[in-house]
């Protein structure tokens, strides 16, 4: 279906919807009628949240950097996958984000570990899959300060997905979206209470999308079915459950690279090097769910019990460009624009996560102090089961994408099965005296790691235990809050499963990180913040055949931003200046004081919108995204130049025949600027990914 036909079809559906009715009071915010919860989600920083140890804490009070992105904010900015949030928050950046593959995010210059730095409903999940956002109420990004809150994780932070829950009033909403290349999304969101038994609530989300991205030869599809229910058993007890099935099938994007020692000019973003006749899609399929109980033990104490599971299946395939044997250089492509091409296939990968948490939260008063306490236990088990895989040389490709080579799907390479079990015991205490707040946290993490090759070789295991403290002090000046915090974290690394590494597939001893942060945050209607941080972490040297700790990564930075409304104007933005350096290396001592690969020197996100007075419901908007220079090579001999992208858009809220509709249109990268957006290193290879081409999208949302 061509672009004109797609737009015509969307217009026809709009006219069809205009014959239906809409209740203007419907809200998509999840609010339970019992005394257990009255959590209102908004785009401002004035909202309640729960991030593991934190409970019933307003973000106004929280001595930490937390960005909450509501479903409304995601809709307004066409955020369809996690990596898209990099256009909204200056602390977040791309970190090997290839079209058609799972998302990888960097926060404060540290890449988040997809196995340990992601939560769903505050329970650990494996993010080595595509995570649909159609049924997510909000995304929480906790920046830094993650050890005491969630245990093993990146010092950059933690991402938590929260699902859409039943609404009080009936919700009947349909969305359609069309992209300029012919992609087409249809989605439905239905919620409310059971009429004959209002103590039961439900929420159903459906989505089907034909994927036609700007990248050529990368068409695919995705589907989502999810359900959430609750039972207000009494004024003191709430039972919640939710279940989600999703599937996404799409060829992934192969990266570009240096041509010898030269940084090539940015390529056409639509050029796809994964375009062989035998190219197959990457398929992500998963079933995920959770069930929880919230019970008021008394007026001051609550019990929460929640359990979750995640079963994932992945078929990972790629016409894989890697290195240049002709020039005996395997971390980049040949100087003439050719490269070695491999047929990579790893079908039927199984990943499972089972987790649970029990916590008690309450308030105690001792003399002049008020204590908010949270104590609990959380456990998570992750399993990875794979088959033998294909990783076979098939010939020489080129960066023009014109070479067609024979396939070789023979299963010649062993995979690695892994098991990981983590049990955490945690306690938090918030001591309040007048306007002072003292925050104390302690988490004891016990970890067991095991791995073995699919042929039974290289069996390794190790056990470790860590006690991770967190301390913060804050003072509330009524109109603004100031705080200082000290935290400790721990990470777990696995040597890449490739034969040219000395200990392929084995775990590296866990590393301890430290963070120091001070912040100042406005708490009035027009919010603002300034945060300074220092993070140091033992550095992993990925230099085949070595994969080991060598020196320290030190990241120091300042973040600031805010939101301001004036008359019909709305301004929002954030910025980060980051000084990231390698320190105290002995094996790679020549890299000391160098910038780490793929970490921008600064970032800027700015948005402005204006509500037109002459046309009721019409809003015009613009967005600026800028990132500073990034190192491509470890010795900093090659860097990516800074880049800027400009987007424009408009939205119109109105009623057609009694149906409330929301129209949105946007042109991303309106100047069609060509640039390299990032320069990640994976498995000892340097990659380049082009920035987005000028892209048009249009969406229509109707509440029936």
416's tokens: 């690695």
How far apart (Å, rounded) are the C-alpha atoms in residues 130 and 351?
A: 13
Evaluate whether 113 touches 107 at the Cβ level (below 8 Å): no
- Report angle CA 18, 175, 666 to the nearest 5 degrees: 100
Question: Which residues, other chains included, contact 286 with Cβ-Cβ below 8 Å and sequence gap of 6+?
Answer: 129, 244, 245, 246, 247, 310, 311, 312, 313
How far apart (Å, rounded) are the C-alpha atoms in residues 646 and 60?
A: 32
**What is the model's pLDDT at position 558?**
98
Pairing of strands 157-163, 689-690: unpaired
How far apart (Å, rounded) are the C-alpha atoms in residues 161 and 288?
A: 12
Which neighbouring-strand residues pair with 446? 423, 465
Q: Number of structural domains, the chain? A: 1
How far apart (Å, rounded) are the C-alpha atoms in residues 33 and 423?
A: 34
Which neighbouring-strand residues pair with 391? 344
Reference 26, options 185, 197, 193, 258; nearest CA is 193
Q: What is the DSSP string of 408-420?
A: -----B--EEEEE
Decide: helix, strand or coil at residue 468: strand
**What is the model's pLDDT at position 367?**
85
How far apart (Å, rounded) are the C-alpha atoms in residues 554 and 551?
A: 10
**What is the model's pLDDT at position 51?**
59
Neighbours of 287 (CB within 10 A): 14
How far apart (Å, rounded) are the C-alpha atoms in residues 397 and 339?
A: 5
**What is the model's pLDDT at position 52?**
52
**What is the model's pLDDT at position 502?**
85
564's tokens: 């301001």
Neighbours of 593 (CB within 10 A): 11
Return averaged pLDDT per consecutive 10 residues of the chain, 704 residues in all.
38 36 35 33 45 65 91 94 97 95 96 94 96 97 85 92 96 96 96 95 98 95 98 95 98 97 96 97 98 94 96 98 96 97 98 96 90 93 96 97 97 92 94 95 92 88 89 93 95 78 78 95 86 95 86 96 94 97 94 96 98 94 98 97 98 90 96 97 92 95 92
How far apart (Å, rounded) are the C-alpha atoms in residues 503 and 479?
A: 55
Question: Which residues, other chains included, contact 264 with Cβ-Cβ below 8 Å and sequence gap of 6+?
Answer: 256, 258, 337, 399, 688
616's tokens: 């009721």
Torsion from C-alpha of 117, 101, 68, 442, nearest 10 degrees? 0
Q: What is the DSSP string of 267-290?
A: PPTT--S---TT---EEEEEEEEE
Q: What is the CATH number of the domain that holds 555?
A: 2.40.170.20
Evaluate whether 191 touches 202 at the Cβ level (below 8 Å): yes
φ, ψ for residue 645, nearest 5 deg: -125, 140
Query: Can you give the residue range of the structural domain that contains 292?
Result: 3-453+462-703
**What is the model's pLDDT at position 49?**
57
How far apart (Å, rounded) are the C-alpha atoms in residues 112 and 89?
A: 15
> Strand ranges (DSSP E) for 27-98?
48-49, 57-58, 65-70, 92-94
69's tokens: 């992105």
DSSP state of 214: S
398's tokens: 């080129």
Question: Helix, strand, coil: what percent of the chain each, to 5?
Answer: 5, 60, 35
3-state secondary structure 578-618: EEEEEECCCCCHHHCCCCCECCCCEEEEEEEEEECCCCCCE
DSSP state of 571: E
208's tokens: 């089907």
DSSP state of 333: B
3-state secondary structure 298-338: CCCEEEEEEEEEEEEEEEEEEEEECCEHHHCECCCECCCCE
Signed CA dihedral, 370, 44, 575, 128: sign only: positive
Evaluate whether 669 touches 266 at the Cβ level (below 8 Å): no
Signed CA dihedral, 109, 110, 111, 112: sign only: negative
């Amino acid at each position: 279906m061509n672009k004109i036909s797609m737009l015509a079809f969307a217009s026809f559906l709009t006219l069809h919807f205009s014959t239906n009715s809409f209740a203007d009071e419907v809200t998509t915010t999840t609010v339970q009628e019992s005394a257990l919860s009255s959590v209102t989600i908004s785009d401002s920083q004035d909202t309640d949240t729960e991030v593991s140890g934190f409970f019933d804490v307003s973000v106004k009070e929280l001595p930490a950097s937390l960005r909450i992105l509501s479903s409304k904010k995601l809709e307004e900015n066409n955020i369809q996958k996690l990596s898209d949030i990099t256009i909204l928050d200056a602390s977040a950046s791309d970190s090997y984000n290839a079209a058609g593959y799972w998302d990888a995010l960097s926060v404060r210059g540290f890449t988040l570990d997809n196995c340990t730095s992601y939560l769903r409903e505050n329970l650990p999940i494996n993010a080595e899959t595509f995570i649909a956002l159609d049924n997510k109420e909000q995304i929480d990004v906790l920046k830094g300060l993650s050890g005491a809150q969630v245990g093993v994780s990146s010092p950059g932070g933690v991402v938590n997905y929260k699902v859409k829950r039943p609404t009080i009033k009936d919700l009947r909403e349909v969305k359609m979206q069309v992209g300029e290349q012919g992609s087409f999304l249809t989605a439905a969101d239905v919620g409310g209470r059971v009429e004959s038994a209002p103590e039961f609530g439900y929420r159903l989300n459906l989505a089907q999308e034909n994927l036609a991205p700007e990248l050529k030869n990368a068409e695919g599809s995705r589907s989502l079915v999810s359900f959430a229910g609750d039972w207000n058993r009494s004024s003191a007890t709430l039972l919640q459950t939710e279940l989600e099935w999703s599937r996404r099938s799409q060829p992934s994007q192969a990266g570009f690279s240096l041509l010898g020692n030269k940084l090539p000019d940015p390529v056409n973003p639509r050029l796809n090097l994964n375009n062989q006749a035998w190219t197959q899609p990457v398929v992500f399929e998963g079933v995920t769910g959770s069930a929880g109980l919230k019970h008021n033990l008394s007026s001051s104490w609550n019990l929460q019990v929640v359990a979750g599971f995640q079963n994932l299946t992945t078929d990972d395939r790629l016409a894989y460009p890697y290195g240049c044997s002709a020039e005996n250089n395997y971390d980049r492509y040949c100087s003439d624009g050719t490269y070695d091409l491999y047929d990579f296939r790893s079908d039927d990968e199984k990943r499972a996560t089972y987790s649970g948490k029990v916590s008690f939260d309450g308030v105690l008063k001792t003399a002049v102090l008020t204590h908010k306490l949270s104590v609990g236990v959380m456990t998570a088990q992750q399993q990875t089961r794979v088959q033998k895989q294909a990783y076979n040389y098939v010939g020489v490709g080129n960066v023009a994408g014109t070479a067609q080579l024979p396939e070789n799907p023979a299963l010649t390479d062993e995979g690695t099965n892994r098991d990981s079990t983590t049990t955490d015991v945690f306690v938090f205490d918030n001591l309040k005296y007048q306007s002072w707040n003292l925050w104390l946290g302690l988490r004891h993490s016990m970890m067991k790691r095991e791995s073995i090759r699919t042929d039974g070789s290289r069996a390794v295991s190790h056990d470790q235990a860590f006690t991770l403290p967190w301390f913060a002090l804050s003072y509330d000046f009524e109109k603004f809050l100031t705080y200082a915090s000290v935290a400790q974290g721990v990470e777990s690394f696995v040597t890449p499963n490739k034969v040219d590494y000395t200990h392929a597939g084995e775990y590296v001893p866990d590393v301890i990180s430290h963070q120091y942060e001070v912040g100042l945050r406005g708490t009035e209607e027009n919010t603002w913040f300034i945060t300074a941080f220092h993070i140091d972490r033992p550095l992993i040297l990925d230099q085949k055949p070595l994969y080991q700790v060598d020196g320290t990564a030190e990241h120091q930075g300042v973040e600031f931003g805010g939101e301001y409304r004036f008359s019909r104007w709305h301004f929002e933005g954030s910025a980060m200046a980051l000084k990231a350096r390698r320190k105290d290396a002995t094996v790679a001592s020549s890299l000391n004081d160098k910038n780490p690969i793929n970490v921008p020197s600064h970032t800027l996100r700015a948005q402005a919108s204006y509500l037109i007075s002459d046309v009721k419901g019409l809003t015009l908007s613009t967005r600026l995204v800028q990132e500073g220079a990034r190192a491509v090579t470890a010795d900093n001999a090659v860097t990516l130049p800074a880049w800027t992208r400009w987007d424009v858009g408009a939205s119109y809220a109105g009623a057609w025949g009694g149906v409330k509709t929301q129209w949105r249109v946007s042109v991303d990268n309106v100047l069609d600027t060509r640039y390299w957006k990032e320069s990640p290193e994976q498995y000892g290879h340097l990659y380049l990914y082009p920035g987005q081409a000028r892209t048009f999208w249009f969406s229509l949302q109707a509440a029936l």
